[in-house]
Amino acid sequence: MTEREMKIYAIIMAGGVGSRFWPKSRESMPKQFQAVFGEKTLFQRTWQRITKLVRPQNVYVITNQIQKGVALSQIPELSESNVIAEPFGRNTAPCIATAASVISSKSEDSVMIVLPSDHLISQEDNYIEQLRNAVQVADKRKSLVTLGIRPTHPETGFGYIHFEKEVEDIELRNYGARKVIGFKEKPDPETAAKFVESGEYLWNSGMFVWRTDVIVRELEKNLVHFSDFYDQLRMAFGSSDFDRILNEFYLRVNSISIDYAVMEKASNVLTIPSNFVWSDVGSWDEVYRLSDKDKQGNTFVGDVISFESSNNFVMGNNRLIALVGINDVVVVETDDALLICRRGKSQSVKEIVDLLRKKNRQDLV
């Protein structure tokens, strides 16, 4: 089967809340739908990248009911029939199971590309070439393929992929693919340093490529209740019954990631070590790292002035923000909230969102 004959579909997962980006990111307008860098949102950038490889009519977006309208408004060429609205969040395995059911109704022997909607990627030609290789090897070897990112530093905020450096298989070598030995959770600094030094570990990007029939089989084996609903979801897509069946499935299925549910259990997992510039933009600290800085190491967005202050990230809103003798902080202002945190601690901003929910401050989440 040539690439031209191969049926390729893409799934953009766009239902996350982005709680680490509070107070800018809210349930109704999370970070993927915001222009964190430049004029286009991360979601729009994801769409533009993948439609260089996949026909727009074969790209599906999975989000939730609250965000469905936002997704449609940001991509005018996106058909409403290509947007799947989850009734509520259940992590990535149920999300991907739903997508696989939908794509299977179109073509069971197709290849699926599964992408998060909130990543920042440059060197896009390189990125598309790696995806094209992943599509080919996933189809030919009926393997589960993930793009792994060659680490540039011992990052503790990412999971890691342990892979075989040596490859004897000529076909795998031609596509730049390697066998996966295992997946590792977010490490402590010492372990992360050992991972990077060994050259045998990649950052887990959360980008996957597989044949639709292959991932369906794996999910039926490993995701409880999926086999009970697969045929129903597949046959109901496009009808008035689909939302009802999807809601019943989500009420019964466990909330679990695709890594835990499938990838860590499967034996036919490959990775393609990739070196395009990538970030999951997982926190305000990461935005600061990626942003331009002045001579004092500050990144200021909005009306901000400073005196004897360095290495700060400040995003203002409608008022002047002045810093005096302040170093190494993150400040983010919105109309109704102000975040101040020490740089290096912004991964914990999601704890503030949890506290707000416990205090029934839904107006702020």
pLDDT in tens, the chain (365 residues): 444 468 999 999 999 888 999 999 999 899 999 998 889 999 999 999 999 999 999 999 999 999 999 999 999 999 999 999 999 999 999 999 999 999 999 999 999 999 999 999 999 999 999 999 999 999 999 999 999 999 999 998 899 999 999 999 999 999 999 999 999 999 999 999 999 999 999 999 999 999 999 999 999 999 999 999 999 999 999 999 999 999 999 999 999 999 999 999 999 999 999 989 999 998 999 999 999 999 999 999 999 999 999 999 999 998 999 999 999 999 999 999 999 999 999 989 999 999 999 999 999 99
CB atoms within 10 A of CB 52: 11
Q: Which residue has the tokens 């990543």?
A: 119
Query: Does residue 1 lie in a domain region?
Result: no
CATH number at residue 271: 3.90.550.10
Contacts 24+ apart (CB under 8 A), 232-239: 233/98, 233/101, 233/102, 234/101, 234/102, 234/104, 234/105, 235/105, 237/101, 237/102, 237/105, 238/81, 238/105
Task: Give bridge partners of residue 333 from the DSSP assignment.
Answer: 338
Task: Assess whether 91 and 178 both reside in one domain.
Answer: yes
Domain closes at, from 258, 279, 300: 279
Task: Assess whether 199 and 329 both reside in one domain.
Answer: no
Task: Assess whether 271 and 128 both reside in one domain.
Answer: yes
Residue 31 DSSP class: G
Q: What is the pTM of this model?
A: 0.93
Task: Assess whether 292 and 164 both reside in one domain.
Answer: no
Task: Assess whether 93 and 15 both reside in one domain.
Answer: yes
- Please give the Cα distance from 156 to 176 (Å, whole number): 26
Task: Assess whether 269 and 291 both reside in one domain.
Answer: no
Number of structural domains in the chain: 2
State which residues form the domain around 32.
8-279
Domain closes at, from 279, 300, 321: 279
Question: What single string gives the DSSP state of each residue in 86-111?
Answer: ESS---HHHHHHHHHHHHHHH-TT-E
Closest CA to 113 of 87, 88, 137: 137
Q: How many CA atoms lie within 13 A of 166 on its CB side?
A: 1
Task: Assess whether 197 and 313 both reside in one domain.
Answer: no
- Please give the Cα distance from 351 to 202 (Å, whole number): 28
316, 303 Cβ separation under 8 angstroms:
yes
Query: Does residue 309 lie in a domain region?
Result: yes
- Please give the Cα distance from 310 to 305 (Å, whole number): 11
Query: Does residue 217 lie in a domain region?
Result: yes
Domain closes at, from 247, 279, 311: 279
Task: Assess whether 354 and 242 both reside in one domain.
Answer: no
Task: Give bridge partners of residue 192 from the DSSP assignment.
Answer: none
Query: Does residue 71 lie in a domain region?
Result: yes
Query: Does residue 3 lie in a domain region?
Result: no
